[in-house]
């Protein structure tokens, strides 16, 4: 939840109180196949890696370049775009740590992965999301399930910040994105 343990832990990391960040790898609490109607397939991830081999995927996961979902297989959604861009043109993926300018733009887009030749199976037209900065919701957005990239401008104060996107549970879908770890120039 915004302002919860994960946000506090990540801010402690940014302030130098913790040696490593902790990345989201699931948007649920999976224990056993079939228990309480849960299946491992209900917890897909979007991973931004430099390749499809196991080493590239593991490096991307280690860097936090992923989002974690909860959804049943008929939903089959993905983050088509999720990045932060500052005034100088730097683009960051979730998990990236960078010094940035005060003004940033947050980019997000959700698509449905439909089998070739088939239309939407989920019936979902849009999802509500929250941009969270340092544990506080700073913007509510509505992400259409199409190729639209929603751009949210944000001005940050100088210093360390943890910025992340969250799609809280709705229509049988939840998503947690690993945060952008920023140090804003004075």
Burial class (CB in 10 A: 0-12, 13-18, 19+), 71: buried
CA 100, CA 118: separation in Å to the nearest integer?
Answer: 42
pLDDT in tens, 121-134: 567 899 999 999 99
User: Looking at residue 172, what is its pLDDT?
Assistant: 87
| Residues 139, 122 contacting (CB under 8 angstroms) | no
To the nearest whole number, what is the mean pLDDT of the chain?
Answer: 90
Closest CA to 21 of 131, 95, 100, 98: 95
| Residues 139, 186 contacting (CB under 8 angstroms) | no
Residue 79 has pLDDT above 60, yes or no: yes
Q: Which residues of 138-165 are buried (b: 16+ CB within 10 A; e: fewer)?
A: eeebebebeeeeeebebebeeebbbbbb
């Amino acid at each position: 939840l915004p302002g919860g343990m994960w946000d506090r832990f990540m801010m402690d990391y940014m302030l130098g109180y913790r040696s490593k960040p902790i990345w989201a790898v699931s948007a649920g609490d999976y224990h056993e196949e079939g228990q309480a109607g849960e299946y491992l397939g209900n917890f897909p991830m979007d991973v931004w890696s430099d390749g499809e081999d196991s080493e590239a995927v593991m490096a991307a996961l280690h860097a936090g370049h992923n989002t974690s979902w909860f959804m049943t297989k008929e939903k089959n959604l993905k983050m088509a775009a999720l990045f932060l861009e500052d005034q100088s043109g730097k683009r960051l993926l979730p998990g990236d740590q960078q010094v940035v300018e005060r003004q940033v733009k947050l980019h997000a887009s959700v698509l449905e992965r439909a089998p070739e030749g088939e239309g939407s199976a989920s019936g979902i037209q849009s999802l509500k999301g929250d941009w969270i900065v340092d544990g506080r919701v700073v913007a509510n957005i509505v992400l259409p399930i199409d190729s639209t990239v929603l751009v949210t401008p944000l001005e940050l104060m100088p210093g360390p910040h943890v910025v992340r996107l969250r799609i809280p549970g709705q229509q049988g879908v939840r998503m947690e994105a690993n945060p952008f770890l920023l140090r804003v120039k004075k």
